[in-house]
Amino acid sequence: MTASVGAVATQATAADAATAAPAQGPSEPSVYGPAGLIETPSITGASEPTGTAAVSEASTSSTSRTSKSKAKVSRAVRQQLKAHTAVAVAKKQIGDPYRWGASGPGAFDCSGLMLYAWRKAGVKLPRIAASQFRTVRKKVSWKNLKQGDLMFFYGLGHVGMYVGHGKMIHSPHTGARVRIDKLSGYRKASFVGAVRPGA
């Protein structure tokens, strides 16, 4: 009788042990979690971001776009400020005589005046009109002219600076002085193109 009871107890203990510690395969490692429960961590790929993570990613993307937009605006504002300075400097030279090859102060040829004014605004330009047109990347059409833009005429043989209101400042030719002229139909007919330094 005693032996039978012992055998039953042994069998119950073995059954309890088997229930408490089931066999674990090598592909799914298990760990004990809260309250002694067995948890099998997932070994599949990471799930898509949800909740706070998704909102964080969207916020980062929006911030990046905003930063790029602000950078473009800042560049445009800086260019406008430099253009304003260049126009102001050029206007101060009104009355100075034309002299071929001169880039100031006191006397200018057409490209020398552009070089001088934009240099005072912090932008370097080549010495010759044709080189100024080719070097400055930002090209501008007649209808999109803004203050400070350089306008080229006669096959790049002459250059002036747009000052707004349909006018430009330039050093015209031998015997003339730096002045502001209205952009007439004659000027438009000989117009080759324009550029925007500092853009």
Q: Which of 84, 110, 165, 173 is catalytic?
A: 110
Strand order in the sheet with 167-170: 139-140, 191-195, 150-153, 158-164, 167-170, 179-182
Phi-psi region of 141 (alpha: psi -120 to 50; beta: other; left: phi over 0): beta
Q: How far apart are CA 33 and CA 39, in angstroms?
A: 6
Residue 173 a catalytic site member: no
What SS3 state is found at 170? strand
Alpha-carbon 96 to chain mean position: 39
What are the start-end ranges of the H helices in the chain? 2-20, 52-92, 110-120, 129-135, 185-189
CA 35/CA 53 separation, integer angstroms = 30
How far is the C-alpha of 127 from the C-alpha of 171, rounded, in Å? 14
Residues annotated as catalytic (active site), given as ranges? 110, 158, 170
